[in-house]
Copies of this chain bind each other. A is one copy, B any other.
Amino acid sequence: MNANRFGQILTLTTFGESHGPALGAVIGGCPAGVAWDQELLLKWLERRRPGHSEWVSARKEADVPEVLSGVFEGKTLGTPIAVLIRNQDARSKDYDSLQPGQRTGHADDLWRDKFSHSDPRGGGRSSGRETVARVIGASVAQMIAKHLAPEISVTGFAKQIGPFELSEDEFQTALEKSQHSMWWADQYSGRFPQAEKSKALSEFLAEAKSEGKSYGGEAQIVVRGLPGGLGQPVFHKLKSDLAAAVLGVGASFSFVLGDELASQSEGSQFHSQSSPVTYGGIRGGISTGEPIQFKVGFKPTSSVLDLAKAGRHDPCIVPRAIPVLEAMVWLVLVDHLLWQRLDRI
């Protein structure tokens, strides 16, 4: 079954438990002849890596990728691309002191019910650690896109974290800035793209961490440069696939395409608006060629104070989730870019 496989043409199969020997990604359906960009892969892994800030989970995951197959002399072979990441700093002993049931809010108990076994080592497959395979997949997707539609950019940034929120002006400024540099928000603490608030947020989260508190938030995603015509009419509408993709990220609970006020709008007014934002860049399930915008809501991370004291606790998941969201979006977009090759005779 497809429980661990994502995509229709460009497929990402992931494996590995968070405290097992390794995690891996197998990318199928990548055409032959794609220029391999190792730097891009490393950049994606670096972006996803926790530990670059005082308040994020302190695991120093030196995620060294080993490309096991599918690439030869700088190009993809058209065969499956397997990339392996060893778990080097598993520290499962941090969890050893936890009694069963103590990781409240985690899904461990549910997995025990489902599969009749107990793997207390940090969540197994449902751990955030698994997402390392997603950014590996995304880096390959982006390599493909450089051939097919090099103008595509996917930008994510925090829109709200706990009590911190971008004002409408700050949001518009962020949108404007993201036009020029896809990953510009990485420079801000918490990927919250407003300098003063970002600093205050950093202190706020450091304190939250020390107190074992956690907060929800919202991430904003903007896709630019996407050709029109991507998506299928009925069950693989672009919006369907994007929603499935981002809801496949841990702790996410909502997906809102375009302007959330759309539900409260009157139509003739709504449809006469020139702003493509209102539509979110997708109509009838397919891309219009205009920018696609959506936001994704996250609930507070669920970790007890004891765990927090051991230094393995993120006070808000949004900053770390952003590259993962972007990764899932790349996978969806490039899957549909390849799918488009089959549209017409």
Taking beta carbons and an 8 Å cutoff, which residues of A are in contact with B? 1-6, 8-9, 11, 13-17, 20-24, 26, 28-29, 31-34, 66-70, 72-73, 75-82, 84, 104-108, 110-111, 113-117, 119, 123-126, 130, 144, 147-148, 160, 162-163, 212-218, 228-229, 232-237, 239-245, 247-248, 250, 252-258, 260, 262-268, 270-271, 279-280, 283-288, 297-303, 305, 338-345
User: Are the CB atoms of A110 and B283 closer together than 8 Å?
Assistant: yes
Nearest neighbor of A147 in chain B, beta-carbon distance: B345
Contacts A31-B344, A266-B300 given: A15-B20 contact, CB under 8 Å? no
Known: A77-B119, A106-B284, A110-B283. 5 other contacts (CB 8 A): A24-B26, A73-B117, A77-B124, A126-B284, A240-B244
Contacts A14-B80, A144-B345, A266-B162 given: A286-B114 contact, CB under 8 Å? yes
Instruction: From the candidates B117, B280, B298, B299, name the one contacting A253 in the complex (CB within 8 A).
Output: B280
Q: State A124–B260 Cα separation when bound (angstroms).
A: 28
User: Are the CB atoms of B111 and A233 closer together than 8 Å?
Assistant: yes
Which of chain B's residues have a CB closer than 8 A to the CB of A268?
212-214, 305
User: Are the CB atoms of B256 and A297 closer together than 8 Å?
Assistant: yes
User: Are the CB atoms of B160 and A271 closer together than 8 Å?
Assistant: no
User: Are the CB atoms of B66 and A345 closer together than 8 Å?
Assistant: no
User: Are the CB atoms of A125 and B241 closer together than 8 Å?
Assistant: no
Nearest neighbor of A215 in chain B, beta-carbon distance: B266
Which of chain B's residues have a CB closer than 8 A to the CB of A218?
263
Query: 20 A–B contact pairs at CB < 8 A?
Result: A1-B232, A6-B235, A14-B235, A15-B82, A21-B68, A32-B114, A32-B117, A73-B117, A77-B117, A107-B283, A111-B284, A162-B264, A213-B267, A214-B266, A218-B263, A241-B244, A247-B255, A250-B284, A267-B299, A279-B299
Q: State A12–B170 Cα separation when bound (angstroms).
A: 45
Q: How far is the CB of A336 from chain B (nearest CB, A)?
A: 11
Contacts A13-B80, A248-B240, A344-B115 given: A110-B286 contact, CB under 8 Å? yes
Contacts A69-B17, A254-B254, A257-B254 given: A263-B216 contact, CB under 8 Å? yes
Which of chain B's residues have a CB closer than 8 A to the CB of A124?
77, 79, 233
User: Counting chain B CB atoms within 10 Å of each CB, which of A15, A239, A283 scores highest?
Assistant: A15
Which of chain B's residues have a CB closer than 8 A to the CB of A125?
77, 79, 233-234
User: Are the CB atoms of A2 and B13 closer together than 8 Å?
Assistant: no
Instruction: From the candidates B271, B280, B338, name the one contacting A342 in the complex (CB within 8 A).
Output: B338
Nearest neighbor of A244 in chain B, beta-carbon distance: B244
* Closest 9 pairs between A and B when the two form their complex, measured CB to CB: A107-B284, A267-B300, A214-B267, A32-B115, A244-B244, A3-B232, A15-B80, A243-B243, A262-B299
